Amino acid sequence: MSVIKTPEQVLKMKKSAAVLADCLDILESEAKTKAGMTGRELDALAETFIRDNGGIPAFKNYSMSPGVPGFPASICFSRNHVLVHGIPDDKPIEDGDILTIDCGLSIDGWFADFARLFGVGNISEEDERIMNASHKALHEGIKACRPGNRLSDISNSIQSSIFNSRYENVLQFCGHAIGREMHEAPQVPNFGRPGRGITLKPGMVFCLEPMLLKHKVGLGVLPDKWTIVTLDGSRATHVEHMVLITENGPEVLSHGGNTRKL
Ligand code: MG
Ligand code: MG
């Protein structure tokens, strides 16, 4: 569909995003405060919350490519050395874990997709550092979401931030536009020279998703064909925000607490 959404369409996307933001707020709070919570329990909470609010979980049965089974859950639950696409399991969340909960939904056919990255309990300084660097890269990308900039200015801002943080960037996965489908063109890579790609205009909505590794390390996929892990078990992070380009600059749609306002 068109990369530029009409004000009416943007309003629908804001509603989807607000429900998802509240869903992720609940999941984050449960993961942090309820001892022994599992990914599978969080997944069940997410599915119930989404359906109770008139949404359809977008990840469940999502098919990436032929030969890969549909994703079996409503959230991606990526813990510690899992970079992305972790399948929720029955292993209790532990003190010191760092988690990314990524979730997507549609309401009236309009999609939202974003992820929270956070630690549970006592987090090591090293883990705090890589999470901070991940959020910084995300926010540098968001700052570039201004009309008149080019698409690769977002990519370059993320790349420069990761480079300056001295962590390793991940080139195999990327962000994307979003609307009537979860993944719309164009893609938003986490690297690239500035000044290329489409010119950003009000009404465009992008999902920015930087991913960081502690050091240069190979990635592998588990036999479930979804879970992407670091080969040496070192930490990997992923965070994602959904951002609307407005005349005045970026508007982040993935903050919580808005469901009842829309
Ligand atoms: Mg995404
Ligand atoms: Mg996502």
Per-residue pLDDT of 9-58, as tens digits, reads: 999 999 999 999 999 999 999 999 998 999 999 999 999 999 999 999 99
- The closest ligand to the CA of 58 turns out to be 2
Task: Report the separation in Å between the CA atom of 186 and the middle of ligand 1, taken as the mean of its atom positions.
Answer: 12
Distance CA 240, CA 196 (A): 22
Q: What is the DSSP letter of 92?
A: B
Domain boundaries along the sequence of the chain: 7-261
Task: Report the separation in Å between the CA atom of 125 and the middle of ligand 2, taken as the mean of its atom positions.
Answer: 26
Phi-psi region of 183 (alpha: psi -120 to 50; beta: other; left: phi over 0): beta
Task: Report the separation in Å between the CA atom of 110 and the middle of ligand 1, taken as the mean of its atom positions.
Answer: 14
Token code pair at residue 184? 């719309």
Task: Report the separation in Å between the CA atom of 24 and the middle of ligand 2, taken as the mean of its atom positions.
Answer: 12
Residue 223, class by beta-carbon neighbours within 10 Å (0-12 exposed, 13-18 middle, 19+ buried)?
exposed
Q: Residue 65 — pLDDT band, cuts 50, 70, 90?
A: confident
Distance CA 237, CA 137 (A): 11
Spell 241-254 as b/e; 16+ CB within 10 A means b.
bbbbbeeebbbbbb
Amino acid, res. 258: N
pLDDT tens track for 40-54? 999 999 999 999 999
Distance CA 162, CA 215 (A): 12
The correct CATH number of 7-261 out of 3.40.50.720, 3.20.20.150, 3.40.720.10, 3.90.230.10 is 3.90.230.10
Task: Report the separation in Å between the CA atom of 209 and the middle of ligand 1, taken as the mean of its atom positions.
Answer: 7
Q: What is the DSSP letter of 202?
A: T
* Residues with C-beta atoms within 5 A of ion ligand 1: 113, 207
Cβ neighbors of 48 (< 8 A, separation 6 or more) are: none
Q: Residue 262 — pLDDT band, cuts 50, 70, 90?
A: very low
